Amino acid sequence: MAKPDKVAAVAEIADRFRSSSATVVTEYTGLTVTQLSQLRRALGTSAKYRVAKNTLVKRAAEDAGVEGLEALFVGPTAIAFVEGEPVDAAKALRDFAKDNNALVIKGGYMDGRSLTVDEINQLADLDSREVLLAKAAGAFKAKLSQAAALFQAPASQVARLAAALQEKQQQESGDAPAES
């Protein structure tokens, strides 16, 4: 018979798997409590970092329908459940791992498939959602400006042509000899 506290822990972890936009599995051997607190602060509100027993995490992943992570649940395991932008959390974990060799990123899960360490690093190299949206808005604005200039060009050409024609007619009428 399963203990109620373990059943509740499995249910909570399974809910986190279901509600997360992504998860990153790490090994934290050698990190102090202070360093773990720094990591949690670095993740901010974009992710919840949870240390868990491998057997409970395996059951929770199975309950949540998450496949492909079983091999990662070896040794001391902690999982970052990403609630916000996966890019922000991946950057925070990668940067923290660079400064603290004790944190090892093992892999992750996003969009229904498991992620390798290289894929998580590629995700961390992406610009944030806000930066990408700003770049897209700038590109749209530039294209709209080009379109406006293109649509305005024929009208201004017609105006310049009419002015030149009028000037030419005035010159011709002024040059012609007057008849008496």
Secondary structure of the chain: what % helix, strand, coil (to 5)? 65, 15, 20
122 and 166 both lie in a single domain? no
109 and 151 both lie in a single domain? no
pLDDT digits (tens, 9 = 90+) for 66-88: 888 888 888 888 999 998 788 88
68 and 151 both lie in a single domain? no
Q: Is the pLDDT of residue 178 over 70?
A: no
Rounded CA separation 165/167 (Å): 5
Residue 39: partners with Cβ closer than 8 Å, 6 or more residues away: 31, 49, 92, 93, 96, 100, 103
Strand partners, 50: 79
59 and 24 both lie in a single domain? yes
13 and 102 both lie in a single domain? yes
Find the CATH number of the domain harbouring 97. 3.30.70.1730
* Nearest alpha-carbon partner for 56 in 8, 101, 102: 8
92 and 66 both lie in a single domain? yes
Task: Tell me the pTM.
Answer: 0.68
36 and 108 both lie in a single domain? yes
What count of other Cβ atoms lies within 10 Å of the Cβ of residue 114?
A: 18
* Nearest alpha-carbon partner for 72 in 97, 106, 49: 106
77 and 31 both lie in a single domain? yes
On whether the CB atoms of residues 96 and 42 are closer than 8 A, the answer is yes
Q: Is the pLDDT of residue 62 over 70?
A: yes
Q: Token pair of 88, please?
A: 């922000």
Q: How far apart are the first and last CA of the chain?
A: 125
pLDDT digits (tens, 9 = 90+) for 4-40: 888 888 899 999 989 888 999 999 888 888 998 998 9
Helix, strand or coil, per DSSP, at residue 51: strand
Give me the number of domains the chain comprises.
2
Q: How far is CA 111 from CA 20, 48, 117, 129, in A?
A: 10, 18, 16, 17
Of residues 174 and 112, more confidence is placed in 112
Question: What 8-state DSSP symbol labels residue 22?
Answer: E
Domain span holding position 166: 128-180
pLDDT digits (tens, 9 = 90+) for 83-132: 878 888 888 899 898 988 888 899 999 988 888 889 888 888 877 777 77
Domain C-terminal end among 126, 145, 170: 126
17 and 28 both lie in a single domain? yes
